[in-house]
Chains A and B, each alone.
Chain A
Amino acid sequence: MIDKRTSIEKALERVRDGDRVMVGGFGVPGTPFTLINGLLGKGTRGLTLIKNEANEDGMGLSRLIEAGRARKLICSHLGLNATVIGMMNRNEIDVEFYPQGILAEKIRAGGAGLMGILTDIGLDTILENEKQCIEIEGQRALVEPALRADVAFIHAFMADDFGNLVYQKSARNFNPLMATAADTVIAEVEAIVDTGDLDPEHVHTPGAFVDHVVVMEEITSEYGVLEHHAL
């Protein structure tokens, strides 16, 4: 039986200085805090990070960026992170913004072995300025090249030893897309079951996409409810 369970130290050996790293999550749900914190401890630098947002100040991806480990951030928005916006405005990090669904499609294309997508999103806006524009069936379209990464950090609720993954609720978001779009895919999981115990009908990411499964030792407070977002 294939067993992809790996220690976090061993899994993170796959990340090298200068790598492009995709990181799942939208806000707290789905953010692989354990892997991010592990990478922070390891000291890897010169990274290009790809994530929907940078988490909030002092949390998750923001900690890597605040520690100066990232050269570039490719994301959709930074609305809840004044620290990273400040770093961007001071040119301490290069930030590339994409419309959220276009970012998702670029990653999906990368994972699907396609070279890019064509879209009318962003036509007649300043996004058009630096992009290739073509005409297809009489309509203008922007060319958005596919996105891939060296490594993807995924957070899933449950895995089996083979690496089949199941996500939970709004913690799915970018995770299943990024799990297809990197050369090395590391999934941290809250729970592990024996291969055969997951219903194949309910697997969100097939194990073939996953290289390493890191079983989390604990659900730290970062994964919990943020009081400032509660009523």
Chain B
Amino acid sequence: MWWSWKRSHPNTGYWNITPYKEKIAQRAAEEIAAGQVINLGIGIPTLIPKYLPDDKPVFIHSENGILGMGPRCRPGTEDRNLIDAGGNYVSLMKEASFFDSALSFALVRGGRLDLAFLGTLEVSESGDLANWIIPGKFSPGIGGGMELAQKSRRLIVTSTHTDRNGRPKILRECTLPLTAKGCVDTIITELAVIDVTPEGLVLREIAEGVDLDEVIRKTEAPLVVPQQDLPRF
């Protein structure tokens, strides 16, 4: 679980370099189909629910043993025994259920989780994900990230296109230890929507007002660019 980053690294500035995070979350929400069971990692993914239309019910899984989480509680309505995996006080949908930690991950590993959204440090051309450790600098543990990455039926990475130093996060090969190999299906950044395919990274959409050259320049891995005009988001 990636709730850790902000608090254990308050000075990295990582969380201040995402002026486009709402845009990423809004675009990410469009990838969700009604009725899906989804899990939201910390950071940008937690912004996704507000972009889900009311007529599109989805069932949000929380690693600590909830399926069917509702929005965060309004002040004064918190229940001390009801938090999400990031420690936030949450409400429930009427379909909600509670279960223990083993069953919670049985749902994930057993193939009942349709879609997970995770942030990342690096992602590779072949869909490798690296988001849990920077040896010697950042090692808060594994949490549920490895199982979500490896076993979710579909994994979408929501992330800024580059790191805070402007370096590409989408690489030919990850340099950091992997969370899971070949697990990423789609990458959504403030610049582009990119699918991981057997033919490589295929550019599916470009953000409004962004040049194709900028996307290519800020992506270390080669991009397959379709001939036709790309949709904008």
Residues on A lying within 8 angstroms of B by beta carbon are: 26-30, 52-53, 75-82, 85, 88-89, 95, 97-105, 107-108, 120-127, 157, 168-177, 223-226, 229-231
Contact = CB atoms under 8 A, between A and B. Distances in A.
A29 B82 contact: yes
Given A101-B108, A172-B65, A125 B143 contact: no
Interface stretch (B159-167, B176-184, B208-216): B176-184
A79 B75 contact: no
Interface of B: 1-5, 7-8, 62-66, 72-75, 78-85, 87-89, 98-102, 104-106, 108-109, 133, 139-147, 150-151, 177-181
Contacts, number: 170
B108 to A, nearest CB: 6
Contacts of A120: 150
B73 A230 contact: yes
B82 A170 contact: yes
Given A80-B7, A169-B82, A225-B80, A99 B73 contact: no
A165 B189 CA distance: 47
A101 B140 contact: no
Which among A30, A98, A121, A175 has the greatest number of chain B C-beta atoms within 10 A? A121
A27 to B, nearest CB: 5
The secondary structure that dominates the B interface is: loop
Contact of B81 (A78, A123, A171): A171
Contacts of B2: 79
B141 A101 contact: no
Given A99-B147, A170-B66, A76 B100 contact: no
B141 A121 contact: no
Nearest to B86: A229
A210 to B, nearest CB: 16
B48 to A, nearest CB: 17
Contacts of A52: 101
Which among A28, A98, A107, A169 has the greatest number of chain B C-beta atoms within 10 A? A169
A137 to B, nearest CB: 17
A104 B83 contact: no
Contact of B141 (A97, A125, A226, A229): A97
Contacts of A100: 1, 63, 101, 105, 142-144, 147
Contact of B80 (A29, A81, A103, A176): A29
B155 to A, nearest CB: 14
B78 A76 contact: no
Given A85-B140, A177-B100, A28 B180 contact: no
Contacts of B140: 77-79, 85
B143 A77 contact: yes
Contacts of A231: 72-75, 89
Nearest to B82: A169
Given A101-B105, A101-B147, A126-B133, 15 more contacts: A29-B64, A29-B80, A76-B142, A79-B140, A97-B141, A100-B63, A100-B144, A101-B63, A101-B104, A104-B101, A104-B105, A125-B177, A125-B180, A229-B89, A231-B73
